Amino acid sequence: MGPAFGARLPATARQRFGNCTQEEDGMSQLDRLNAYLQARLRREEMTEITLQEAASWIREANLLPSHAFRRDGPLRFLIQAGWIEGGEQARRPGGRYRIRRKSA
């Protein structure tokens, strides 16, 4: 995903989410975020979670700066951009966002 990640988000999401560059171990924040969400879905034996639940998990795990996920807006932008594994919006108008567990 690399350094170009933030450039593809709307300005308000970039301000809240911040930079998503690779760290010393070669994983980006986005890689960690996706790995965490998918691992937790498997551990909890859940097939999907709502956007709000995912934002809560991210805050709990302290994966990103606290200001990044005060609301679920930045996560919605990430799903819309296709950066969250299993992220989708229900196909009906005004459909809710969710994150589905990917098969291992």
Residue 24 has pLDDT above 80, yes or no: no
Q: Map out the domains of the chain as residue ranges.
A: 3-100
Residue 67 has pLDDT above 80, yes or no: no
Tell which wins on pLDDT, 51 or 11: 51
**Closest Cα partner for 83 from 70, 66, 97?**
97
Tell if the pTM clears 0.75, that is, is over it.
no
Residue 66 has pLDDT above 70, yes or no: no
